[in-house]
Chain A
Amino acid sequence: MTTAPPSSFAWSRVVAVFLKELVQMRRDRLTFAVMVMMPVMQLLLFGYAINNDPRHLPTAVEVRDDGPMTRSLLASLKASSYFEIVAVARSGAEGDRLLRNGEVVFLIVIPERFEERLVRGERPQILIAADASDPVAAAGPVAALQSIAQTAFAPEFTGALSPLAATLPSYEIIAHRRYNPAGVTAFNIVPGLLGVILTMTMVMITSIALTREIERGTMETLLSTPVRPVEIMLGKTTPYILVGAVQTVLVLIAGHLLFRLPFTGSALTLLAAITLFIAANLMLGYLISTVARTQMQAMQMTFFVFLPSMLLSGFMFPFRAMPAWAQGVGEALPLTHFLRIARAVVLKGAGFDATARELGALGVILAVLTIAALARFRRTL
């Protein structure tokens, strides 16, 4: 039997490890099923539990003017599925109290002489005060009020009042977001969810890559062959890039079908970001795998990484609102940068120019993790 001359790196050995991992993945049906089902399950859970377009929110109205226009507006509010009028405030103080106590999420105030001023063309103001401490809940209905009002007034603007219809809006809606004036939009959730799902599955699956070999005793065989650490690393992580790609496609399709996720930006930018992001997470998992001695330890360390990813990346809480040290931790997490890119591309239509800094940050994180994992890899038992 002839063998090729010795060399310090061989693609053929990377391929050997790669093929072996694929076969093992195929044999381990349960894990494979979990990896495919997890994105879908999480998307459904997060997507519907964190409903980005909530309806039937408790609302108080404070009506200081009584006329056909006002009654028409109230009727439309009731008809819309956004607002559930649960209280009528008799004074400004009472309205504020209801909102502050959380009995209602919205307070809609129709001012004195609303109809009279409307007819005169003085553009009276309708005030909607929102409890934006739950900004996701508040955003949709506030935006919807405009069209509700328009629908309500349209039949009234006839005959002598028809010029009002032409110069719409002949009234003004003033929105006060209380308690959280910045607000966060609802679509933040779905691109973020893609990042969270990839973080969870990619880190978890590679964190057991080496510990499984150690626990099953196969590491001894592996180490007694000429295979190099970098070959094991590449061979073991590459199959999961494919898994990550499948998950990404699943989430984007489901996000589009279930939540009408818009997609406005550069697909190529997103592809580059996803590739870098998946690779960074795989390396993070692989690094864990070089540290942990058992699969149990690897799982615990995965969660140790996963929690800050959820909390400090800007997925759950606005990044800018965090203290400086937490932002520092957040900057070191791949998810933070991926979220910024994904949101910029999917929601704001960004391309490579606008996301170059974040892509670079992902690249740096990937390089650091790769070097650390290779340095940690023990070639001896």
Chain B
Amino acid sequence: MTAANDAPAISVEGLTKRFGDRTVVDDLALTVPRGAIYGFLGPNGSGKTTTIRMVCGLLKPDAGRGTALGFDVLTESDRIKERTGYMTQKFSLYEDLSLRENLEFIARLYRLEDVNAGVDGALDKLGLSERAAQLAGSLSGGWKQRLALAACMIHAPDLLLLDEPTAGVDPKARRDFWDEIRRYAREGVTTLISTHYMDEAVQCDSIAYIAYGKKLVDAPTGDIPGFLGLHAWRVRSNDLDAAEEVLRGAPGVELVARFGTELHVAGRDEAALAASVARLRGAGGSAEPMEAGLEEAFIHLMTLSADNYK
């Protein structure tokens, strides 16, 4: 190993990828420290998958350079692949092979010295042992995710690249999945995980938010709300629909979101926001200022950058 162990797990800069005229990833820099769980957020088509693929050598960047696990992403992707587990957004193992056969195949490709022990261990760790002989195609979504995680963990990688691993999975399975991720993090595995779910984002140590291929925010998770300079109010009313109607588009109001029986209203212009909320208070509702949280921050970011699909 030529890499120093205190070097970041991922360190890339100027990463750019174009498909035809469309610049999918634009001059992106990213530094992920070893052992971190790094969240990768952004709307659909914002370039998350493309970035992950460039890091593990599945796509060649048009510009930019960097390292993963100390190896050059442009020239040493074979070495990076040896030490990295990549979980694709869409299930991409063999549906006509059983769970065991899938894992055996992957274990052999990574040249595990004891394939059987490795496969048994992976099956056991993720509670898949009872289903080992079942064909992968017959599994439900949550079990497929587990199998995919088992497959990308089987060679004990140092870096996990997880591309929306919990999309379409029920809440219980998602919680179990995250328990696994945190366990690996404690063992020193670095994780870069892309997600759409707010409750998952808050579990990350740091978050990079990208839209239109550009990185907008990159900070420790706790710093993000303050970083955006958001002010927020909590609004209660007997008629939430009417209140929402009044607030949406009012001066200073950049975000209106429903949380159960209340509305959260946020914006960066403190005075204008306060004035708009005050008008509502006269109309029979109540409002009080609150600390802007991560959720407001992300909804705000998402609103700023609607889906990149045209």
Contacts and interface: CB of A to CB of B under 8 A. Distances in A.
A-B complex is real: yes
Interface string A1-24: 111101010101101110110011
A221 B101 contact: no
The range of chain B's interface size is: 35 or more
Interface in A206-229: 216-228
Contacts of A216: 92, 94-95
Interface string B96-107: 110001001110
B81 A226 contact: yes
A28 interface: yes
Contacts of B79: 6
Q: Quick one: which of B59, B88, B94 has the most chain A CB within 10 A? A: B94
Contacts of B78: 6, 8, 226, 228
A381 interface: yes
A2 to B, nearest CB: 5
Contacts of A220: 58, 88, 92
Contacts of B96: 24, 27-28
Nearest to B154: A1
B56 interface: yes
Contacts of B283: none
Contact of B105 (A4, A20, A217, A379): A20
Given A1-B118, A220-B88, A226-B82, A15 B108 contact: yes
B248 interface: no
B58 A226 contact: no
Contacts of A167: none
A221 to B, nearest CB: 4
A217 B88 contact: yes
A224 B113 contact: no
Interface residues of A, number: 34
Given A6-B79, A20-B101, A226-B81, A380 B108 contact: no
Contacts of B56: 224
Given A24-B94, A24-B97, A218-B94, A224 B111 contact: no
A273 B42 CA distance: 58
Contacts of B14: none
A13 B96 CA distance: 20
Contacts of A225: 81, 106, 109-110
B108 A224 contact: no
B151 interface: yes
Contact of A1 (B59, B60, B121): B121
Nearest to A232: B109
Contacts of B53: 381
Given A20-B94, A221-B151, A4 B113 contact: yes
Contacts of A219: 92
Interface in A344-373: none
B152 to A, nearest CB: 8
A223 B58 contact: yes
A304 to B, nearest CB: 28
A19 B105 contact: yes
Contacts of B108: 12-13, 15-16, 19
Interface in A10-50: 10, 12-13, 15-17, 19-20, 23-24, 27-28
B176 to A, nearest CB: 22
Contacts of A2: 112-113
Contacts of B58: 220, 223-224, 380-381
A18 B58 CA distance: 23
Given A13-B108, A16-B108, A216-B95, A224 B86 contact: yes
B156 interface: yes
B91 interface: yes
21 contacts: A1-B112, A3-B113, A3-B155, A3-B156, A6-B79, A10-B111, A13-B111, A15-B108, A17-B105, A19-B105, A20-B94, A20-B97, A27-B97, A217-B92, A220-B92, A221-B86, A221-B88, A226-B82, A379-B57, A380-B59, A381-B58
